[in-house]
A and B are shown apart, each in its own frame.
Chain A
Amino acid sequence: MKSWISFLIPEDEYKEKKMLYFFSEGAILLFLFLITMIICNKYFDLNLDMVLMFCIAVFLIYVFGRYILSGIEYTDIATEQAYKKELKVICIKTINFVVIFMLLYFIFTGLPSNQMEWIEILGLLLSLSFLWFFTSFISLKRSYMKNKELL
């Protein structure tokens, strides 16, 4: 069965079914959130920008969170050796992300001119790289635990 959303859906049958569930659940949550916001808007003066940002966040955090926790990302990691190897790959990818982010930042916006700007950019970079590593680590751990039981 083909749809315009097919490019977002994995080839594997089980993963495909799971992802469709996550997207559907996310869409229903988003719908309920929007209804709630319409009701709240009658009684409170809501900031439109904030509400729109929350809408995107609700959908993305839900779908991404479910994907991470479901353990379907690393489907072939079932042994401790493979787990450790993949963990190293995640570390290397995180370091690459930090380096590329810093380089692109310096190229397009130049070097930070004062201490405050340095703190801001380093804080942002550390937060993003921590989030990257942490989500990948949880996903790997969940996948490993799930796959180990299926051997």
Chain B
Amino acid sequence: MKNNVKITRMKASITQEQLAKRIGVTRQTIGLIEKGEYNPSLHLCVAIAKELNKTLDDLFWEVDDS
């Protein structure tokens, strides 16, 4: 599933490691979510959205592939 997590995280100047620590997952999990290789649970989606001060729509809803 494509998403806006990576671009939002980079705009917020947060590293994968920092985001991972703040929401209690591994850096690998963040990397996999950003690459669209792992679909996180709703619980984790909400945690990421809260940490990046965005809504679920901003991060995960209908991302343009182009």
| Interface pair B28/A146, CB less than 8 Å apart | yes
Please tell me if A68 contacts chain B, counting CB pairs below 8 Å. no
Q: Residue-by-residue, is A5-17 near B (CB-CB < 8 Å gives 1, otherwise 0)?
A: 0000001111100
Cβ distance A62 to chain B, nearest Cβ, rounded Å = 22
| Interface pair B16/A72, CB less than 8 Å apart | no
A147 vs B17: C-alpha distance in the bound complex, in angstroms?
12
Residue tally, chain B, CB below 8 Å to A: 16
A147 vs B30: C-alpha distance in the bound complex, in angstroms?
10
Q: Which residues of A contact B16 (CB under 8 A)?
A: 150-151
Q: Which residues of A contact B54 (CB under 8 A)?
A: none
| Interface pair B24/A147, CB less than 8 Å apart | no
Cβ distance A52 to chain B, nearest Cβ, rounded Å = 37
* Interface contacts beyond A12-B29, A76-B28: sample of 19 additional A-B pairs, CB < 8 Å, sorted by A: A12-B25, A12-B26, A13-B25, A13-B29, A13-B44, A14-B32, A75-B26, A75-B27, A75-B28, A75-B29, A76-B17, A76-B26, A78-B27, A150-B27, A150-B28, A150-B31, A150-B34, A151-B16, A151-B31
